[in-house]
């Protein structure tokens, strides 16, 4: 029982940590926020992950696959950044906690059904189950 509860809590923590959303950035936001990594969608719809991105004039610079790269902003269709979705994470954790609590209550009351039907016929000889 204890290992099941611990496993459930670990699963909730892992899933809760995975709640993220992708947010589109403007060039000004990119320079102001200085995210550690962004995803660049080129005009031809290919996508590259850029680490340490910065904008200098009309050029986006950063590292793709460990190599320094300069990308003209005219070739970029979209720049997105991954950030945590706090509202979704809170909702997921609350729902998971409610389900876990419901399961715990259900499991606590789900004993051997034959135990509830047993009657001590010495104490209650008139009970119909004692015949």
State how far the Cα of 74 lies from the Cα of 1, in Å rounded to an integer.
Answer: 59
- Best CA proximity match to 66, nearest among 49, 79, 83, 81: 49
- pLDDT, one tens digit per residue, over 39-81 is 999 999 999 999 999 999 999 999 999 999 999 999 999 999 9
- Best CA proximity match to 100, nearest among 6, 8, 2, 7: 8
- pLDDT, one tens digit per residue, over 105-129 is 887 776 555 555 677 788 877 877 7
Give the global pTM.
0.54
Q: Which residue has the higher pLDDT, 33 or 104?
A: 33
State how far the Cα of 99 lies from the Cα of 127, in Å rounded to an integer.
Answer: 39
- Give the fold, CATH level 3, of 21-83: SH3 type barrels. (2.30.30)
- pLDDT, one tens digit per residue, over 6-21 is 766 666 666 655 677 8
Sign of the torsion angle spanned by Cα atoms 49, 51, 55, 59: negative
Query: What are the extents of the domains in the chain?
Result: 1-19+85-107, 21-83
pLDDT given for residue 39 in this prediction: 95
């Amino acid at each position: 029982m204890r290992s099941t509860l611990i496993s459930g809590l670990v699963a909730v923590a892992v899933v809760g940590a995975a709640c993220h959303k992708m947010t589109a950035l403007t060039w000004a936001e990119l320079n102001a926020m200085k995210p550690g990594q962004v995803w660049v969608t080129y005009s031809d719809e290919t996508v590259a992950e850029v680490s340490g991105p910065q904008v200098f004039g009309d050029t986006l610079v950063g590292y793709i696959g460990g190599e320094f790269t300069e990308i003209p902003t005219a070739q970029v269709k979209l720049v997105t950044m991954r950030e945590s979705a706090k509202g979704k994470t809170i909702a997921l954790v609350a729902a998971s906690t409610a389900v876990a609590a419901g399961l715990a209550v259900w499991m606590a009351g789900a004993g051997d059904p034959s135990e509830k039907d047993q009657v001590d016929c010495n104490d209650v000889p008139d009970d119909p189950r004692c015949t």
